[in-house]
Amino acid sequence: MRRLAPLMLLGLAGCGLHPLYSGGASGPVAMTLARVEVAPIAGKSGWLVANALRDRLPERDGSAPLYRLQVTLDDQITGLGVRRDDSVTRERRSLRARYQLVALDGSKVVIDDTAGSDAGVDVVGSEYATIAAENSALERLSETVADQIVTRIATYARAPRPAP
């Protein structure tokens, strides 16, 4: 097994995979992410997603932003399980985001994409417990959607671009 390890590493080197965040804080991905500003997003879910995005983006070093991230959210709760008395026993909370990364130099949209996730919520006898579960689901969904958005921006920053 010890003799196979170097051979396996050589095989991996030729597969074309490259680290996304190569170069660390001075790499192209980190530098691009640090130059993104998040536009205000409406509503409670917008506040949660905006904060999650800001947590994931590196802090700017005082340089002007190159991009603005504009996000529109669709937050819905749908009843799934229904008892004989027409009361709901299970809900699905879905959070969908349409986002655009706009270059500030010419207002050109460089990314126009969507992200989203779903979470299940049990509806219990206590209304307080159900509302708390819905809020917890929204917090988790906000984190997931923010992860998807930042990953997409990072893959955009990593992709080679043709010379002008």
106 pLDDT band (50/70/90 cuts)? confident
d(Cα 39, Cα 95) in Å, to the nearest integer? 18
- Residue 115: pLDDT above 90? yes
In angstroms, the CA 68 to CA 39 distance is 6
If DSSP codes are grouped into helix, strand and coil, which group holds residue 133?
A: helix
Q: Which helix (H) or strand (E) holds 3?
A: none
The distance from CA 125 to its chain's CA centroid, rounded to whole angstroms, is 33
The H or E element that residue 117 is part of is strand 108-122
CATH architecture observed for domain 21-157:
2-Layer Sandwich (3.30)
The domain limits of the chain are: 21-157
On average, the pLDDT of the chain sits at 84
pLDDT of residue 53: 96
Judge whether residue 107 has pLDDT over 50: yes
Kindly state the tokens that stand for 72.
């529109």
Region 3-23: mean pLDDT is 59
Q: What is the pLDDT of residue 116?
A: 96
Q: How confident is the model at residue 149 (pLDDT cuts 50, 70, 90)?
A: very high
Question: What is the model's pTM?
Answer: 0.81
pLDDT range class, residue 112, cuts 50, 70, 90: very high
Cβ atoms of residues 100 and 112 within 8 Å: yes
